[in-house]
Structure 1
Amino acid sequence: MSITTYTELEGMKKISEAVAATLKQMREYARPGMTTKELDEYGATVLRQYGARSAPKLTYGFPGWTCISLNNEIAHGIPSEKVKLKEGDLINIDVSAELDGFWADNGGSFVLGNDIHQHNALVDASRQILYKAIQQIKGGVRIADVGKFIETEAKNAGYKVIRNLVGHGVGRSLHEAPSEIPCFYDKANTLRFKKNSTVAIETFISTKAAYAHDKGDGWTLVTKDGSFVAQHEHTILITDDVPVILTEANEI
């Protein structure tokens, strides 16, 4: 989406605040013994307080208000009454929503309670690489160059990136142009970031796997080799200088 008016900017700020607050409060609410369905229903309550509507439900008919992925799940995990959170779980929550015709996307991985499985280094790498990558973005910068930066940073930290999950444009719909903002170097991608546009930037940092695979439920994406993945995502407004992180209210 290209921001051309004050009203559009305010609209993007409002929905970005809603998804950021929902993600932050869901993370704080999560505790061992809780089902992922309980956590999802709590997230739905927060979204409703802002008047926002779940984007995956609206767009794809997703069977949940938010996506909650655990451990070897990478993304699009379905909230379930049968799955309970455990101490040390690697949890990813992805919250995207619509409000007054504007859409925003925000996600983050974290360790629940004590880091008994040593996932915090991976989580920290994903978070830090995202913030570093965002600092590289401004109008005119090649999308491929930012992907190369993310991939290089991951490699230097001893990790890989998932190559079939990408960031995307966002604003008037959940997914819009540019349709692919990879976290790896794609020399065929000649597009450049545009000033005053809004996009969702994501990192998918992996301990070993390079690709996500369908778990078999039509939604959840997993690793096949037992490796773990941390994801972080912010909706940003591109400028001719450092971008504005619209979902920055959520410290993920």
Structure 2
Amino acid sequence: MTIENEAQLDKLRKVGGLVARTLAAMGRALEPGMMTRELDTLGRALLEREGARSAPERSYGFPGATCISVASDCAHGIPDDTVVKAGDLINIDVSAELDGYFGDTGASFAVPPVRPDIERLCRDGRRAMWAGIRAVKPGSQLNAVGRSIEDFARRKGYSLVRNLASHGVGRTLHDDPGEIPTWYEPRDRRRIPEGLVFTIEPFLSLGADQVEQRDDGWSLRPPGHQPTVQYEHTLVATRRGPLVLTLA
């Protein structure tokens, strides 16, 4: 989606703020002994209290209000009776529709006690996302985002999952432009128009470059079970730089 007026921006700010607050509240509530279904119930309540609807549930019939992935799973995890344990790596992805507009955000959380390598992975996952965000400028090539993320990952010794990508968002959960690589793709000649609304969500890993779908038809994990994190913001490309819509 490309924003055409302030009214659209206001609605995107509203849904972006809501999903950001919901993600933050779920992260604070996360603790050993709780089931991921309980965490999802909290997320649903916070979204519905503001009149929003779960985007994956509404758009794709996902069996939950939010995606919660545990341990080796890194995306699209189904909330269920899985019990959170100390030391788990949890990814929470929150997306919603409100008044016809969509917002999308996500983050990985390490449940204490945290191994030093996982702590670094989480820290650098956030830094990789922000490296991509800082590359956003109207008129520049879209692949500058992936180039910045890949440069950061390579310097720090990480791999990037290359069959999960960022995407446009706004009027739908997955809007134009289509898949936006979070690694450098030299053949991608698309440019960033002013007002473009999209996500930046690299999957930074300790060795994985692909994920596979599990038998439940949704959950994704690296074949080698390598720890992998995802951090995601929705943003708008403006003349003054990237405007992040999903800050809590």
Alignment-derived partner of residue 25 in structure 2:
25
Alignment-derived partner of residue 51 in structure 2:
51
AA aligned opposite 2:42: Y
1:116 deviation in Å? 4.0
Q: Distance in 1 between matches of 2:135 and 2:97?
A: 28
AA aligned opposite 1:74: C
- After superposition, residues 1-252 of structure 1 pair within 5 angstroms as 1-81=1-81, 83-116=82-115, 118-249=117-248
More displaced stretch, 38-47 vs 142-151: 142-151
- DSSP-derived class of the 1:93 partner: strand
Measured on the aligned residues, the alpha-carbon RMSD in Å equals: 1.1
- DSSP-derived class of the 2:32 partner: coil
TM-score (norm 2): 0.97
AA aligned opposite 1:30: L
Name stretches of at least 5 consecutive residues in structure 1 with no aligned partner: none
Name stretches of at least 5 consecutive residues in structure 2 with no aligned partner: none
Q: Distance in 2 between matches of 1:117 and 1:12?
A: 37
1:240 deviation in Å? 2.2
Residues 76-95 of structure 1 deviation map (CA, whole Å, 9 limit, x = unaligned): 000012x1001111110000
1:135 deviation in Å? 1.0
More displaced stretch, 50-59 vs 184-193: 184-193
Q: Distance in 1 between matches of 2:144 and 2:134?
A: 13
Residues 114-154 of structure 1 deviation map (CA, whole Å, 9 limit, x = unaligned): 21474111011110111122111011121222212111211
Q: Is contact 1:88-1:117 (8 Å) kept?
A: no
Residues 164-189 of structure 1 deviation map (CA, whole Å, 9 limit, x = unaligned): 00000000000011111111111221
Closer, same or farther in 2 for the Cα pair 1:35/1:62, shift >3 Å?
Answer: same
Identity of aligned residues (%): 42
1:61 deviation in Å? 0.1
Moved >6 Å (runs of 4+): none
TM-score (norm 1): 0.96
- DSSP-derived class of the 1:140 partner: coil
Residues 176-206 of structure 1 deviation map (CA, whole Å, 9 limit, x = unaligned): 1111111111122111111112111111101
- DSSP-derived class of the 1:106 partner: strand
AA aligned opposite 2:39: L
1:113 deviation in Å? 2.5
